[in-house]
Structure 1
């Protein structure tokens, strides 16, 4: 394709998608250090002082919490081997909290309920802005598609930018990463635009190609197929489950109707509400068995409470993990004290690890702090590209108009 055509494509996409990419970039930069910022401004919630007494046992902690919230139905508990870390307890919620429940941060030494998290509403809005331009209701899908199309435009912009500035890159590759302040006007804007673009190009391609993972099902499925990894199935119908596992082998509640009856396809059977219900003693036994099994320090561990049955499912992140998606899962039967399944992230082949790490790749966290900072800077610099791009566009058309007048 002729260079002039690539030039037109670059400028047309830059002008049409520039504002959307600016919004997506700035919101992405804001989200880059969300976890660190939230933890910093909520130290009283995440960090507790260590007294001379030992931590309360899981049973004691849950009993004290249940005393403070007698009507609460506890869904799960998350804890850490770090002596200064608070514990979180999730309970069933209603309305907008029905899906994720309500999470309380608790002092593991006293069972005191700690202050609620500050700042999460702001970052929740930033995420909505980043993913679907903060549109609500039926317009959310429209916002999602606008962001997706702009993301595709970013890929084309990055590649067409290489073509447009290929002469400079080919002439002196390493010099193409620099620009000089002695240049004035359009020459300065052009060299700065291209030089900074060379630095952030890998970040933009990585962010765009991973960001499309959440935009299109066909793209999502294609990535799994290319990687040779089976795509996880969610909301599997009851009739497709392994009959040998039983309804509660994964420690999950079977769907019920308003009369507390389990619904398995067309079959409805009454579930006793007072029999075989797990007790806090069972939870204590499960946590003790978990600690005995893994025998290592962990950053966090979570366990969901089954409504009945003896199999407990844990997910945990060891303290040496490089990023938050290196999650391991462990299923334990407290009746037989056996390990049903132990799925370690480190044992997975690279292709499966990468498919489990799409979000850390997208944010740069996969590459550690340097990658996280690099993605933050690249996202923030989207403002620079939008502004200089528009300035170059205006400057170019002004020059054309002046030439026509003369």
Structure 2
């Protein structure tokens, strides 16, 4: 493709998608340190003072104390840590029937006292929605989702076309093309800074864009699993309108039979056993090989007497570096243990797409580089707009001079 055409594509995409890319970049930068900032501004929720001469309550004791004070709340799971200063988190079924996500509370592991609610969540949720859907919601959420996806594809083309446009400069002075000087004149300064910043961000930009599309299109996500040679986990598929109507009619029919005393009786839910959960936790603590920053157990067994505990070691690089242990409390043994460290590289990548997107997959240095790259998106776009305006102004002045 001719260089002039690449140049036109580069500027056209920059003009059309520049503002959207600024929003995506800023929101991504804000969100990148969400976990660290939330812990910083909520010290009384995430951590507790270690009292003298007092032992940490067992999981069973914490569950029983909370349930006794809140008999109407259904506890789904509980998370704990080997860190004695860490609070315990508990997942509860929401009192709102329309809220399927439930809610999370934090408790003092020494007293089972409920700790203050987290602050700052709404702030970060806004930037998350801005990053994913441009804050669009409801029936028009797909519009924001597709605008973000198309802008992401445009960013990939911008990177490629930028390399083509600036290739003569790069080939002529490779190392110098990564630098710029504040002593140069206005347009020369903007041009060299724009190209230098672009070269710095090639790899982070491409990784962020290619991984970002994972959440944009189902076909793209499936293609990634196929290319990486990893089996794609099955997702719960929402029923079709016809299926939903049939299910609703079936439920109404069953309720009508119960109301008429017609045979079918309301099924009484099986009570959750805190004793059994404690047995699973005890076996887990005996078998786990080292300290963990977080371990979570669902109070409902996955099958009969089998409980699954998901956990993350204290030396984990990122938050998706999770392991799991299947425990049969009837036999007091571990049936299966799946460790993140035992996965192949392709499996680690596909199970850690979000840390790969944020740079956390590469440790703290990767997270910092991706944060800076996302923040510099604004500078990259603004300098591009300034160059375009300067070029347009000179072209207009030249045309007016020819007319005069």
Following the alignment from structure 2 to structure 1, what is the Cα–Cα distance between the partners of residues 190 and 85?
51
Contact 2:26 2:374 in 1 (8 A): yes
Contact 2:11/2:388 (CA < 8 Å) preserved in 1? Answer: yes
1:24 to partner: Cα distance: 0.4
Relative to structure 1, the CA distance from residue 40 to residue 294 in structure 2 (aligned partners, 3 Å threshold; closer, same or farther) is same
Equivalent residue number for residue 215 of structure 2:
214
Distance change >3 Å, CA 176–CA 340, structure 1 → 2: same
Q: Deviations over 1:180-230 (max 9, x none)?
A: 111111111000000111111111100000000000111101100000000
Aligned CA-pair RMSD: 2.0
Aligned to 1:294: 288
Show the counterpart of 2:37.
37
Contact 1:81-1:299 at 8 Å conserved across structures: yes
Asked whether the 8 Å contact 1:360–1:366 carries over to 2, the reply is yes
Structure 1 gaps of 5+ residues are 238-255, 261-268
1:399 corresponds to which of 389, 394, 403: 394
Asked if the contact 1:300–1:316 (Cα under 8 Å) also holds between the matched residues in 2, the reply is yes
SS at 2:201 equivalent: helix
SS at match of 2:272: coil
Question: How far, CA to CA, are the matches of 1:383 and 1:272 in structure 2?
Answer: 58
CA spacing shift, 1:228–1:131, aligned 2, 3 Å: same
Distance 1:375 1:331, change over 3 A: same
Q: Secondary structure at the match of 1:390?
A: helix
> CA contact under 8 A between 1:88 and 1:103: conserved in structure 2?
yes
Distance 1:130 1:274 in 2: 41
Question: Distance in 1 between the 2:186 and 2:296 partners?
Answer: 57
**1:281 paired residue among 275, 281, 284:** 275
**Cα distance in 2 for residues equivalent to 1:208 and 1:393:** 24
1:97 CA drift (Å): 6.8
Partner of 1:201: 202
**Secondary structure at 1:103's aligned position in 2?**
strand
Query: Aligned residue for 1:386?
Result: 381
| Structure 2 partner of 1:74 | 75
**CA distance in 2 between partners of 1:271 and 1:325 (Å):** 40
Distance apart, 1:341 and its partner CA: 2.1
Task: State the TM-score, normalizing by the size of structure 1.
Answer: 0.90
Structure 2 partner of 1:266: none
Question: Could you say if the C-alpha distance between residues 14 and 381 of structure 1 is closer, same or farther in structure 2, counting changes exceeding 3 Å?
Answer: same
Task: Give the deviation of 1:280 after TM superposition.
Answer: 1.4
Write out aligned runs for 1:161-176 (5 A).
161-176=162-177
SS at match of 2:160: helix
CA drift at 1:272: 5.2
| TM-score, length of structure 2 as denominator length | 0.90
- The 1-side partners of 2:237 and 2:38 are apart by 35
Q: Per-residue CA shift, 1:260-311, capped at 9, x if unaligned? A: 9xxxxxxxx9785376x33211111111111112142001000111178311
Task: Call closer, same or farther: CA 1:194–1:236 in 2, change over 3 Å.
Answer: closer
- C-alpha distance in 1, partners of 2:24/2:3? 29
* 1:330 partner SS: strand
Task: Report the CA distance between 1:99 and its aligned residue.
Answer: 1.9
Counterpart-to-counterpart distance in 1, 2:138 and 2:8? 36
The answer as to whether partners of 2:283 and 2:333 remain within 8 angstroms in 1 is no
Match of 1:353 in 2: 348
Distance 1:272 1:97, change over 3 A: closer
**CA distance, structure 2, for counterparts of residue 143 and residue 220 of structure 1:** 19
1:18-37 → structure 2 map (5 Å cutoff): 18-37=18-37
Q: What is the CA–CA distance in structure 2 between the aligned matches of 1:348 and 1:270, rounded to whole Å?
A: 47
1:147 to partner: Cα distance: 0.3
Cα deviation for residue 235 of structure 1 reads 2.3
In 2, are the aligned partners of 1:365 and 1:371 still within 8 Å (CA)?
A: yes
Stretches of structure 2 lacking an aligned partner (at least 5 in a row) = 239-249, 256-263
CA distance in 2, matches of 1:271, 1:311: 26
Measure how far apart 1:234 and its partner are.
2.0
Q: Which residue of 2 aligns with 1:304?
A: 298
2:363 corresponds to: 368
Is the 1:278–1:309 contact (alpha carbons within 8 Å) kept by the matching residues of 2?
Answer: no
Aligned residue pairs total 380
2:332 is matched with which residue: 337, 344, 361?
337
Mapped to 1, the partners of 2:380 and 2:198 lie a distance apart of 8
